[in-house]
Amino acid sequence: MSNQYKFLLEESKLPKAWYNINADLPVPPQPVLHPGTMQPVTPDFLGVLFPMNLIMQEISPERWIEIPEPVREVYKLWRPTPMFRAHRLEKALDTPAHIYYKYEGVSPVGSHKPNTAVPQAFFNKEAGTKALTTETGAGQWGSALAMACNFFGLDLEIYMVKVSYHQKPYRRIIMENFGADVYASPTDRTHFGRSVLAEHPDSPGSLGMAISEAVEVAATSNGAKKYSLGSVLGHVLMHQSVIGLEALDQMEMAGEYPDMVIGCAGGGSNFAGFTYPFLWKNFTDGRKTKVIAVEPASCPSLTRGVYAFDYGDTAAMAPIVKMFTLGHTFIPPGIHAGGLRYHGMSASVSALVDHGDIEPRAVKQLETFEAAVRFSQSEGIIPAPESAHAVRVAIDEALKCKVTGEKKVIAFNLSGHGHFDMMAYEAYHHGQLEDFEYPQAMVTEAMTHLPKVPAMA
C-alpha cells in the first residue's frame, strides 16, 4: 500500500467532531489575563470581541466538539484533503526515509485557513453578529475569512500588514473579490494606527500592529462588530484538527505510522491542526511520534523568545497570555519574505514546548527557499513560503536517514501553495533574499516591556 502516491478519503470520512487538546494537556493551562487589571479574564470581557459560542469552545474541557452540519457542508468543497507519499522527493534525496505530506493547498483560497474561518463565520452568524474585523499578514487568513464571511452573509474589515499589502497584491484582490474592505496597517483609521504613523511614518507594520487596529475597531463598535483571529487561540487550533484527524486515517491507509510529524509554526494553527491528533495518540495510546515545530530564524519566538506572560498585540489592548514571545513590540525585519511573523505563539503550543512534548527548530530564509524549490521540482507543487519551513526540516530529517540508513516515516503539513508568493520566489532566484538571525539584544530589550503580572497569576 505504501507504494501509492496519494491517499484519498471518501467524503463520508470527513471528521464529525474537532479534537480539543484541552482534555489531554499534560500541564494545566495558564490563565488568560485582562490587559488592564492583570486578573483572569471573564467571559463578559471576552464577549466584547467574540461571540459566546466561540468563548465556550475556547474554555471547553471536552475532548470532542461536534462540527455543525452547515460547516461540514462548506468543508466538503475541498475536504477531505489529500495526503501524498513523496516518492519523487525520496528518490531525489536518495533517502531510505518514507516522506508523506498532507496538502491543504487544495482549499478554494489555497491554504489551511478556511478550516477555522468557516466555523468562525458560522458561529458569529448564529450569535447575531453582523460584521467582523480581523488582521492578516501574508493574506492567507484574510482571503479565507473573506470567503467565509461571503458564504454566511457577514461584512468584513481587514487590516493587512503594510509590507505584505504591497508585496502580495493578489491576495488583497482575492479578499476584495469576496467583498471585504482591506486596509494597509498601520492606518489612519484607528487611534493606535495614527499613533504609530505619527512616530514612524514609514512603518512597514507588523502582525501585532494589525491585530491592535482590528481589536480597537471591534472593541469601540458598541457591539456592532466582533473580532476574528486566524491563529493562536485555542478554538482556532481546535478547528484546524480536521487536518490531523484525516491524516491519521490516511496513514492507516498507507499501512505506516509516522516516526515524526512536522509543521511550520507562526501562531500555531496549521502546526497544531496537523500534529495535535498525533499528540493525542502519544498521550493516550503510548505512541512515541516526535513532533517538530519549525519557525524562521528571523522571527524565532520558540527558539529565542522567552516563556512569559505578554500582550497578544502591540498596543497592549488584547488579553495577556503566557506564551513564548519575542515581545509585543517586535517588528519583523523587512527582508523577511517567509511569513510566520507573529511575535508570540499559541498558549498550548508554548506549554507543550516548555513541557518537552514538542521540539522547536528555527531555519534560515535561504535554506527554506532552497528546500521549497527542491520540493517543487520533485513533487510539482510550489509551497507557500510559510509551509516551506516544514519542507526544510522534512528534507533535513530525510538526509539524516540517508547517512544512518534508517527507514523512518516522516510526515509534514504542506499548509498552502505559493502561487501568490511569486515575488518572494523571484527575489530568491535573483539573489535578492538574505539570511537574518534576530539579534539577542533586541529580544532582551523587548523583554523590558513585558506586562508586570502579579505572582498569583
Tell me if residue 258 falls in helix, strand or coil.
coil
Distance CA 401, CA 144 (A): 37
Q: How far apart are CA 27 and CA 353, in angstroms?
A: 11
Secondary structure E strands in 94-252: 98-103, 131-136, 155-161, 181-185, 225-227
Cell of 268: 500555531
- At 371, list the grid cell: 528546500
CA distance 141 to 109: 9
Q: How many helices (H) and strands (E) does the chain have?
A: 19, 15
Report residue 135 as a C-alpha cell. Answer: 488582521
Render pLDDT for 314-372 as a digit per residue (tens, 0 to 9): 888 888 999 999 999 887 776 666 677 788 999 999 999 999 999 999 999 999 999 99
140 within 8 A of 110, measured Cβ to Cβ: yes
Give the type of residue at 178.
F
Nearest partner of 118 among 199, 36, 14, 33, judged by Cα: 14
Q: Residue 189 CB: number of other CB atoms within 10 A?
A: 15
Residues ≥6 apart with Cβ < 8 Å to 439: none
The residue extents of the domains of the chain are 6-13+68-110+236-441
Place of cell 502582525: 207
What SS3 state is found at 284?
Answer: helix
Distance CA 312, CA 161 (A): 16
What is the spatial distance between Cα 88 and Cα 402, in angstroms, rounded to a whole number?
15
Set of cell numbers at residue 284:
493516550
CA proximity to 46, closest of 130, 192, 57 = 57
**Statement: 6-13+68-110+236-441 belongs to CATH 3.40.50.1100:** yes
Q: Which three cell numbers stand for residue 392?
A: 526544510
Whose grid coordinates read 495558564?
30
Cite the beta strand spans of 288-444 per DSSP E: 290-296, 306-311, 320-325, 359-363, 409-414
Give Cβ neighbours of residue 300 (< 8 Å, ≥ 6 apart): 326, 362, 437, 438
Give the pTM: 0.95
Burial of 5 (0-12, 13-18, 19+ CB in 10 A): exposed
> Secondary structure of the chain: what % helix, strand, coil (to 5)?
45, 15, 40
Supply φ then ψ for residue 430, to 5 degrees. Answer: -100, 15
Written as nine digits, the cell of 341 is 511573523
pLDDT in tens, the chain (457 residues): 468 999 999 999 999 999 999 999 999 888 999 999 999 998 888 999 999 999 999 999 999 999 999 999 999 999 999 999 999 999 999 999 999 999 999 999 999 999 999 999 999 999 999 999 999 988 899 999 999 999 999 999 999 999 889 888 889 999 999 999 999 999 999 999 999 999 999 999 988 899 999 999 999 999 999 999 999 999 999 999 999 999 999 999 999 999 999 999 999 999 999 999 999 999 999 999 999 999 999 999 999 999 999 998 888 888 899 999 999 988 777 666 667 778 899 999 999 999 999 999 999 999 999 999 999 999 999 999 999 999 999 999 999 999 999 999 999 999 999 998 898 999 999 999 999 888 888 889 999 999 999 875 4
Coil, helix or strand at residue 257: coil
CA 15, CA 355: separation in Å to the nearest integer? 29
DSSP 417: B
Which tens digits make up the pLDDT trace of 109-137?
999 999 999 999 999 999 999 999 999 98
In this structure, are residues 20 and 63 in contact, taking their beta carbons and an 8 Å threshold? Answer: yes
Residues 399/433, Cβ–Cβ less than 8 Å: no
Task: Give the separation between CA 32 and CA 309, rounded to whole angstroms.
Answer: 9
360 C-beta neighbours (distance < 10 Å), count: 20
